[in-house]
A = this chain, B = another copy of it.
Amino acid sequence: MIYFRSDYSQGAHPKVMEALMKTNMEHTDGYGLDAHCEHASQMIRELIGIEDCEVHMMVGGTPCNVTIIAASLKPYESVIAVRSGHAYFHETGGVEATGHRIVAMEGENGKLTPELIDRAWDEYEDEHTPLPRMVYISQPTEIGSIYNKSEMKALADKCKERDMLLYVDGARLGSALTCRENDLNLKELASFCDAFYIGGTKNGALFGEALVIKNKQMRDHFRFMMKRQCGLLAKGRLIGVQFEALLDGGMDSIYFSMAAHANQLASELREGLSKMNVRFYSESQTNQVFPILPVEVVRELENDFFFYEWAPEKEGMIPIRLVTAWGTEKADIREFLEKTRKIMKMQE
C-alpha cells in the first residue's frame, strides 16, 4: 500500500530523530523553558529577520489556531475565514468552543480576498452583531492554492484599514514558500501578518509548530492561554529540539528541502494526470493534488494506494486528494501514474 493519505503518515525525518536521540538523556526545565526552545526561537527570529517577536512551541495546528484566536479577541469579536479554512472546516468547532464566531465566507479557489472581507463586514452593524477583528488564512490553503506577494499585501492592507489582525496558519508553510509559482518569501510573509506559525507536523517533525507573534497585544500572557487551552507540553523542549534540526542551515535546511521535494513530486503527479486529461477539483500549486476520477478508477486505485475521497461522488466522478511529503518517493508517483493510466485504459 502506497500512502498519499496525508503529510503526517510517517514519523519524523531521520535528522529530527537523531536530534531527539542525541538530547534524550539531557535534563531540562519543562514547558518550553529550556535552551533548545530558546535556541530554536532565536533561529526563527533570524530567519524571519524580526527580533521583536515571541515564538511559542505548540503541540499542533489546532492548538495554535484556537489559542491565538482565544488570546487575541475580546468575547464579542469574531474571525473572518473561508469556509474551507482549517479552523472552520476541520477543527470540530474548537474556535467556537472558546466563544468566538468564525464568519465563514465562500472562498475563491480556497482564498480570502479584500472584497470578501468587506462583504463579511456588511454583516456588522453595532452591539447587536459580533465585531470582526481577525482575518484567518492558511498559506497554502486547505486546497493547495497560495497567496502570492501582492495578494498577501492586499489582505494586510485591508486588515490595517479595518483595524483587524492578520493571522496565517502555516501548517504547510514550507510548501507555500518553496512553491515555484510563489513570489513570496518568509521575511515578507512575516512582515505582512500579526502572527503566523511554521508548521512542523506536516513537514518532517514528529509533531510541533512554532507560533510567531509579532503583535504586542496578542503576546500578552500568552503562556497562560497556552496552558488554559491545553497547548503547553510538559517536555516542551521536544519541539525546540525538533525545530533546531528542521531549521539547521536556514533557508538551506531540511525544512525547505523537504517541502520542495514534496512540491516537486506533486507537480509531477499533476502533470502526469493532466496528460491523461484528468480535471482537478482545485488549482493547487503545492503538495496536494485533487484529481477528479471516475468512481471505478478510484475503487481500483484504492487497492494499492491510500488516500482521501475529498467530496461526495457526483455523476460518477469523485474528487480525491493525493498528498506528497518528505518521505514520498519518485517511484510512488511513477507507480500511481502508471496504474491510473492502465486502469483508465481498461475502462475505456
Contact = CB atoms under 8 A, between A and B. Distances in A.
A242 to B, nearest CB: 11
Contacts of A223: 127
Contact of A63 (B29, B31, B230): B230
Contacts of A131: 221, 224
B94 A96 contact: no
A39 B24 CA distance: 25
A118 to B, nearest CB: 11
A21 B66 CA distance: 31
A8 B21 contact: no
A326 to B, nearest CB: 11
Contact of A99 (B97, B123, B235): B97
A128 B232 CA distance: 10
B93 A127 contact: no
Number of this chain's copies in the complex: 4
Given A10-B24, A11-B20, A234-B8, A122 B92 contact: no
Contacts of A319: none
A143 interface: no
Contacts of A91: 128, 227-228
Given A11-B24, A78-B93, A238-B206, A59 B59 contact: yes
B235 A206 contact: yes
Q: How many residues of A sit at the interface, in one of the four size bands?
A: 35 or more
Contacts of A31: 127
A71 interface: yes
Interface string A45-75: 0000000000000011111001100110011
Interface in A26-46: 26-31
B129 A221 contact: no
A76 B225 contact: yes
B227 A62 contact: yes
Interface in A292-337: 306, 311-312, 327
Nearest to A103: B104
A226 interface: yes
B227 A230 contact: no
A29 B11 contact: no
A230 B9 contact: no
A201 interface: yes
8 contacts: A6-B234, A11-B24, A59-B230, A94-B228, A94-B229, A101-B102, A130-B228, A207-B233
